[in-house]
Amino acid sequence: MSKSLVLAGVITALVAGSAVASDLPNKKKAPPAPVVEVSPFDFAFGASVKSNYLSRGISNSAMKPAAAGYFEGRYNDIFYANVAFNTIDLPTKPAGEVDLAIGARPVFGKLTVDVGAVYYVYPSAGGLNTYNGVTVTPGVPNYFEGYLKPTYAVTDKITLGANLYASPNWGNTGATDVYTSATFKVSLPYDFAVSGEFGRQFLGTSKTYIGSVRYPDYNTWNAGITYTYKQASLDLRYSGTDLNKTECGLITSDPKGLTSGSNRSKWCGNTFLATLAVDFVYSELKK
């Protein structure tokens, strides 16, 4: 075969290949994905019913059932402000308890630090409570606390935490208030979790007009199991303190103890607590 024939064959093949390639559809670049702007604002809300409203081991509902609700606004998943309402039954007979809080929850790897302040408001609280000529509770028990609540994710199943609350005017009595505690939570299969807390409440001495009472310090604890299904949860818990009934009466001014003359109360004893709650986060509802 001559060189001229070989060269002609090569040229023919190249031309044919170019023709085939020109017949193929052009591959156009995919349009850029639309930019989705994520709002820095979010909010959460929820409600609960419970067999007893306990605060640091002491009943704020006279050992009776209670209900609660809350709303929280969030910015950049760090800053927040919330309002919560609880039904209560206290000697000053307020219409309820309103908690107003503001704070931040920055995250540093496995460590989350929640720092802020809360103001407890008791609307329509009555005047000074006096028994046998002695004033035992302030008329308006509104007060504020600052708090620091770090949590650390040891693993994706185990979380350890601590709490520190402090106020110069606990319950508007003039007594100082410092509460510290350690917590844990362990996530289990099938949406169960166990958790617990052990705390120490330190209290000071009240104002002179309510007797300059030296309130007792005490330990409190709780442990329980929680089942979560979507936005609903059921928590079963056992809670207690090391206060005796006389010390409990001194802290709570339980009307039953005052009117009977025993000055004792059952509001601080070991007790079982059941809570049914629903919690929603707006950004998660949109998914």
Tell me which residue of 193, 209, 218 sits closest to 136, measured CA to CA: 209
- Angle formed at CA 94 by CA 119 and CA 56, multiple of 5 degrees: 55
**Residue in this structure with the two tokens 């807390």, named with its chain if needed:** 197
pLDDT reported for residue 253: 87
- Domain ranges for the chain, please list them: 43-285
Measured distance CA(94)–CA(92) in Å, rounded: 6
C-beta pairs of 253-257 under 8 Å, 24+ apart in sequence: 253/91, 253/129, 253/136, 253/137, 254/62, 254/91, 255/91
Which positions of the chain have pLDDT values less than 70?
Answer: 1-36, 127-136
Contact 172, 140 (CB under 8 A): yes
Tell me which residue of 143, 73, 58 sits closest to 104, measured CA to CA: 73
Cβ count near 181 (within 10 Å): 20
Q: Amino acid identity, residue 256? A: K
pLDDT tens per residue, range 79-92: 999 999 999 998 88
pLDDT tens per residue, range 96-125: 999 999 999 999 999 999 999 999 999 988
Residue 180, CB half-sphere, CA atoms under 13 Å: how many?
2
For residue 28, give Cα distances in angstroms to 17, 21, 117, 211, 281.
21, 15, 57, 85, 41
pLDDT reported for residue 5: 43
What class, spelled out in words, does domain 43-285 have in CATH?
Answer: mainly beta
Tell me which residue of 34, 47, 101 sits closest to 74, measured CA to CA: 101
pLDDT reported for residue 28: 59
CB contact burial 128-155 (16+ within 10 A = b; e otherwise): ebebeeebbbbebbbbebebebebebee
pLDDT reported for residue 125: 83
Global model pTM greater than 0.75: yes
pLDDT reported for residue 144: 96
